[in-house]
Structure 1
Amino acid sequence: MHSSFEGPLSSSSESEDVSVTLASFCLSLLLSFCMLLAVESVAFEPFDSDPGCTDGVGMEEDVTGAPDSCNFFLIKSSADGELCTLEGLGAAASRPPVVIAGAFRRSTISNSFCISTISELLSKQHLSELKSHLRVTKPATFLDQLLNSGIDSDLVFRFFNWSQKEFRFSYDLEPTVKLLHSLANSKRYSKVRSFMDSFVKNRKHTVSSVFHSLLLGGGRSSATVLIIDMLVLAYVRNLEMHSAYEGFKRAQDYGFKLSLTSCNPLLSALVKENRIGDVEYVYKEMIKRRIRPNLNTFNVFVNGLCRGGKLNKAEDVFEDMKAWGVSPNVVTYNTLVDGYCKRGGAGKMYKAEAIMKEMVAEKICPNEVTFNTLIDGFCKDENVLAAEKAFEEMQKQGLKPNTVTYNSLINGLCNNGKLEEAVDLWDKMVGLGLKPNIVTYNALINGFCKKKMMKEAKKVFDDITEQELVPNAITFNTMIDAYCKEGMMEEGFALRSSMLDEEILPNVSTYNCLIGGLCRKRDLRTAKELLIEMENNGLKGDVVTYNILIDGSCKIGKPRNAEKLLNEMFNLGLKPNHVTYNTLMDGYCMEGNLKAALNVRARMEKERKQPNVVTYNVLIKGYCKIDKLEAANNLLNEMLEKGLNPNRNTYDIIRLEMLEKGFIPDIEGHLYNISSMS
């Protein structure tokens, strides 16, 4: 055998061989050193790791020591340190490996070169290159390393969204919360907001679990409080009202103080859902938690109380505003005016008008909404004269009436039988360049129908399509009802067919109009067939439907059939009203069966419905019909003792059924004006 070195340098070729060998050896050492650095830069972790093995990173090396290839590979070692398998990431992994010291511990991203490289891949969205690394690394592991590296939170957020879509991967709550804190601390509020929306839509975690994780992840830091605020807001925005309300309640338990950012939208959403009790709770809790209300808070709360008919409380809150140093604005006053106009009860319009006067005294100018609300309120209160005065005052204040203003007045005039004035106002409206809408047409059609002017009503109806407007269900129902009341059933059914042609589905009111028309024609069989058709079309008869059928049965002398319909109502979960019971009592009274009528009354009282004036009128007339005038007189006294005032029908019954039969009512303890009966 010959030695590799026989002398210093025996020949030039030998010299070259030695140089190559030395260079290769040095390069091997250099690359080994680089690999040690790289271990700290990139972590590889397979999805299918053997449970008995731990992950390590090694380097391929030729057995001679000359590195003809040098690539990262994954070494899986068992618990006792023996090598299990080798997964090459470059060259074949069949050669014996040289394991780099320290490679079996989980690595983290810390090398500045790798951080900048990963940042560049994410910022330039070279995500396909990043994807190759994730073939052997779990997204959750990679995300955790990114979060710990101090990399820009925007880029981490980009990776988070991309990896979820790319790998259909769902992150646990802990890294999600960690990312939220990272974004919040970086003041990336818009990204926190969008993140929250997708997080809430996922519906994966309960409110309590999220709060718990946020508390563990960031304590009660300002970032955590901001995240909680945005979380409640996200629940509201995505209509997850149960979670939003729970979030508001639990925030206090966890020691988080919410702000108006979430509280005001929560209040507003609860008002829209008519959860007035919850609205009151949230407001009271806000005060208790020292979340200072602003003008928007008060306006929303006052609106909620008005919608719930709690007008006295609304006025109390209105006064509280001043104590908080918050001045009511035009919205506050308009809300109160609207509340009294719609739900104020007796004397409501007087109060609404008084609020507007106070508004003017406080130098807050009423606007179009104020006057429109007041005009509509007066019209619905059947005080058209006051509505017209408000209309004039509106114009004096330099405000221009709009379509809403004219619609309210036209409707009010039509309902009060002032059809000519309504038509004149229509013409004035058009002359001012205001285009009537479907509400205007419906009001005028209703006016003509009330006057039984069906030709004129049909003319206005036909004009709708000529003006490129589309009739709605109210338009058709108004016409159908008028035709049916006039006994023009063919025209009524023809319009029902036209509704379908216009792709407007008949509703319960449509069927009620037709059923009512058939009952007036004493055609109960067809009326019941229509009820079946209605149910087959997915519509359920309501209390009005059954009241019509009960009345129809009584009118043809079949009150027992009517009582079967009453039983059917209970089976369907419908609650009969006074009209139902009074109609059935009247049916029995008409055939002289007072015993059955009184049984119906007893049934009504059992359902906690006390007899009203109509009930007494029906029974008094029933007793008079069978000449039991003393019994009728006793009922009259009972009615008065209960504080019920006789109406015109009561006087007519006394005059026609008692006085004309020579019986003068003996009303004990009551002054009775006989002259008012004449």
Structure 2
Amino acid sequence: MNVQSCFQSLKRANRCQKTLISTIDPSSGVSLLGNVPETPLRFFSSLDSSHTSFISDGYHISRVSELVSKQHWSELKTIVRETNPNRFLQLLFESEVDAEIVLRYGEIRAQLHALVKSERHSNSSIFHTISVWSDRFCSNSIIVDMLILAYVKNSKTDSAFEAFERAGDYRFKLSVLSCNPMLNALVKEGKIGIAETAYKEMIRRRIAPNLITFNTVINGLCKAGKLQKAGDLVEDMKAWGCSPSVITYNTLIDGHCKMGRVGKMYKADVLLKEMVSKNIFPNEITFNILIDGYCKDENVSAAMKLFEEMQRQDLKPNVVTYNSLINGLCNQGRLDEALSLQDGMLGSNVKPNVVTYNALVNGFSKKGMLKEARVLLDDIAKQNMAPNVITFNTLIDAYCKVGKMGEAIALRGLMFDREVCPDISTYNCLIAGFCREGNMEGASNLLNEMGDKGVRADLVTYNILVGALCRDGESRKAVRLLNEMFEMGLSPSHVTYNTLVDGFCREGNLKAALNMRMRMEKEGRRANVVTYNVLIRGLCLKGKLEEANGLLNEMLEKGLIPNRITYEIVREEMMEKGFVPDIDGHLCSKKPHQRVPLQALEF
């Protein structure tokens, strides 16, 4: 836009200087500028009167306008050296150039960056000074735009949002030049709620959003799992005259693939068809998102069809495409197909990376082919790549699960040799391996090592230890670990509580098991099907079949759906012992398509 009227704001220089020197920060009662050395806030003040003739010279004003319009910044530096920088700012604001171009000029940005970095002035004091400095609404709005941008570029996102809010209080008209970077920073920092608030406020203030605005907010909503809201934003785009792009649809499809629930891939496919119907053609990223989504949804066949379609559309699969497919095939135990795909990858001149090798190491490990997996680990180095912590953890976990703790510990040593730091997953794999062998001393030594290296135990660590103690008949000791978890700021999961309930039941201590169930619910974890299965089996083993039947009815009343284990318990522990459960007319499920009476099932 042409902002000729907006750049007439830096007059009354001497009067402005006197006003600013006596300015008081309204929030602190402390003088901002009086009797202090030159600070970045001087950007808003002290226009040296010795250069008045220079500024009033129409030739120089027109020359600056011309150079700014053409963005000849190097020539502008010559003028800056000849005069006070603050004088030059006045010259800029009196010239007839577009605000967006002015915002690019480094001298103005440098002044504001210095102000922000100094951290000597609050937003309230800055806004107060701006309002005193000039009553020209438009030029002040441009300065605030630049201020917000300076906060964002200095990673002060909270201050940027505070300035955004204060701009609304002062009725300054901001633009997407500052709002879009602020929204992007908020989304990157995971502050999705604040980003959503900022977007709504932009709309309320009639700050016209553009495609980047919408794509940024949609990305944030998708990351937060707010897929319905993200979809609704596409309708908002139309109201503002924006058309969704391939990035818009890629973001929505990715959101459904990663954050969606049941039927997520169906919704992703609907979005794909919708974008094609609007003549927005999918690109490599679109296909990669869908292929990865289908692989993680354990539908590798659908992913392979997309892989073929991608090539029919003359789109070249890249390393991300191949990695998703190879990982999907390996997870399903289809190692031969994964190796064949790797050959095709090499034939297409796509170089495998460490992620490719990690997927194949996992594939060999799942097949129990640990020698081959170990050879692959060595091959990574031969390809001038470095195995990462995931490579080592995958192989260590495989050795631990087959009881080869010596090899697992040797690999942990190799990690140190290769300068790969073990993480909590490394230690959890090794601790679980020692616990399976009943080697609690080995597990304890690893816990001590974790403490020495500053690796903090997590929920998985505690669940492993709780499980090991309960299997050894030490459920009361395991309860101490439960208490320790709260002290460490960890929230026990259903697995933690159900393991303890099962431990007490195995020890025949039904009172303690039922008390643990009560504690579980008191601490915010509702009993689930696993909890009821464990308690029902425990009561049956004690011959308390009527009480077990009562718990079965309670489970059904709460709308919990019996699983295969429930049916096995009823058959083996009740019906085969001559006890026919009375389920009071309850059904296995309250869902219409699942109404099957428990007694009608054949055991």
TM-score category of the 2 structures, normalised to the smaller one? 0.7 to 0.9
Distance 2:326 2:600 in 1: 39
The partner residue of 2:479 within 551, 555, 563 is 563
The one-letter amino acid of 1:461's match is L
The partner residue of 2:242 within 319, 326, 339 is 326
Instruction: Write the mapping of 1:514-553 to structure 2, written as runs, cut at 5 A.
Output: 514-553=430-469
Task: Give the Å deviation of 1:418.
Answer: 1.5
Change (3 A) 1:215 1:641: same
* SS of residue matched to 1:363: coil
* Residue 211 (structure 1) aligns with: 127
Residues 177 and 213, structure 1, Cα contact 8 Å, conserved in 2: no
Question: How big is each residue's C-alpha offset from its partner over 1:148-200, in whole Å with a ceiling of 9 and x where there is no partner?
Answer: 56468967965999xxxxxxxxxxxxxx9887555544666331122222221
Distance 1:496 1:397 in 2: 46
Distance 2:111 2:45 in 1: 20
* Residue 429 (structure 1) aligns with: 345
Distance 2:194 2:357 in 1: 40
* Residue 374 (structure 1) aligns with: 290
The partner residue of 1:466 within 361, 382, 388 is 382
Residues 47 and 87, structure 2, Cα contact 8 Å, conserved in 1: no
* Residue 266 (structure 1) aligns with: 182
Q: Tell me whether 1:283 sits opposite 2:208 in the alignment.
A: no
Q: Tell me whether 1:639 sits opposite 2:564 in the alignment.
A: no
Task: Give the Å deviation of 1:529.
Answer: 2.6
* Residue 597 (structure 2) aligns with: 672
Q: Tell me whether 1:407 sits opposite 2:317 in the alignment.
A: no
Distance 2:79 2:483 in 1: 66
**Higher helix share goes to which structure?**
2
Instruction: Write the mapping of 1:379-394 to structure 2, written as runs, cut at 5 A.
Output: 379-394=295-310
Instruction: Write the mapping of 1:467-482 to structure 2, written as runs, cut at 5 A.
Output: 467-482=383-398
Distance 1:159 1:320 in 2: 50
TM-score by length of structure 2 reads 0.83
The one-letter amino acid of 1:228's match is V
Q: Tell me whether 1:496 sits opposite 2:416 in the alignment.
A: no
TM-score by length of structure 1 reads 0.74
The one-letter amino acid of 1:672's match is P
The partner residue of 1:310 within 223, 226, 234 is 226
Q: Tell me whether 1:582 sits opposite 2:507 in the alignment.
A: no
Distance 1:160 1:538 in 2: 56
Change (3 A) 1:177 1:556: farther
* Residue 9 (structure 2) aligns with: none
Residues 583 and 598, structure 2, Cα contact 8 Å, conserved in 1: no
Distance 1:475 1:352 in 2: 31
Q: Tell me whether 1:335 sits opposite 2:251 in the alignment.
A: yes
* Residue 369 (structure 2) aligns with: 453
Distance 2:121 2:88 in 1: 16
Distance 1:372 1:141 in 2: 54
Structure with greater contact order relative to length (CA < 8 Å, sep ≥ 6):
2
Task: Give the Å deviation of 1:545.
Answer: 0.5
Residues 437 and 469, structure 1, Cα contact 8 Å, conserved in 2: yes
Task: Give the Å deviation of 1:458.
Answer: 0.9
The one-letter amino acid of 2:318's match is N
Change (3 A) 1:536 1:560: same
* Residue 486 (structure 1) aligns with: 402
The partner residue of 2:274 within 336, 345, 358 is 358
* Residue 201 (structure 1) aligns with: 117
Q: Tell me whether 1:222 sits opposite 2:222 in the alignment.
A: no
The partner residue of 1:345 within 261, 275, 278 is 261
The one-letter amino acid of 1:231's match is L
Residues 138 and 172, structure 2, Cα contact 8 Å, conserved in 1: no
The one-letter amino acid of 1:321's match is M
Residues 180 and 227, structure 1, Cα contact 8 Å, conserved in 2: no
Question: How big is each residue's C-alpha offset from its partner over 1:584-635, in whole Å with a ceiling of 9 and x where there is no partner?
Answer: 1111111111111111111110111111111111111211221222222222
Task: Give the Å deviation of 1:214.
Answer: 1.6
Distance 2:303 2:45 in 1: 71
Which of 522-531 and 575-584 deviates more?
A: 522-531
Distance 1:518 1:560 in 2: 21
The one-letter amino acid of 2:114's match is S
The one-letter amino acid of 2:238's match is K
Change (3 A) 1:492 1:414: same
Distance 1:146 1:542 in 2: 67
Change (3 A) 1:663 1:181: farther
Residues 137 and 172, structure 2, Cα contact 8 Å, conserved in 1: no
Change (3 A) 1:595 1:393: same
Residues 552 and 583, structure 2, Cα contact 8 Å, conserved in 1: yes
- Unaligned 5+ segments in structure 2 are 1-43, 61-75, 588-595
Distance 2:555 2:224 in 1: 32
* Residue 88 (structure 1) aligns with: none
Give the length in aligned residue pairs.
Answer: 527
Residues 459 and 491, structure 2, Cα contact 8 Å, conserved in 1: yes
Distance 2:449 2:51 in 1: 64
Task: Give the Å deviation of 1:224.
Answer: 2.2
Change (3 A) 1:307 1:492: same
Residues 181 and 218, structure 1, Cα contact 8 Å, conserved in 2: no
Distance 2:155 2:436 in 1: 47
Question: How big is each residue's C-alpha offset from its partner over 1:100-159, in whole Å with a ceiling of 9 and x where there is no partner?
Answer: xxxxxxxxxxxxxxxxxxxxxxxxxxxxxxxxxxxxxxxx99974556564689679659
* SS of residue matched to 1:305: helix
Distance 2:319 2:391 in 1: 18
Question: How big is each residue's C-alpha offset from its partner over 1:265-313, in whole Å with a ceiling of 9 and x where there is no partner?
Answer: 1111111111111111111111111111111111111111111111111
Question: How big is each residue's C-alpha offset from its partner over 1:426-454, in whole Å with a ceiling of 9 and x where there is no partner?
Answer: 12111211111111111111111122221
Q: Which of structure 1's runs of 4+ aligned residues deviate more than 6 A?
A: 140-143, 176-179
Distance 1:653 1:178 in 2: 86
Which of 610-619 and 574-583 deviates more?
A: 610-619
Change (3 A) 1:256 1:177: farther
Residues 123 and 163, structure 2, Cα contact 8 Å, conserved in 1: yes
Distance 2:504 2:45 in 1: 81
The partner residue of 1:607 within 515, 520, 523 is 523
The partner residue of 2:488 within 569, 572, 584 is 572
Change (3 A) 1:319 1:556: same
Q: Tell me whether 1:191 sits opposite 2:128 in the alignment.
A: no
Change (3 A) 1:212 1:453: same
Q: Tell me whether 1:239 sits opposite 2:155 in the alignment.
A: yes
RMSD (CA atoms): 2.4
Which of 623-632 and 301-310 deviates more?
A: 623-632
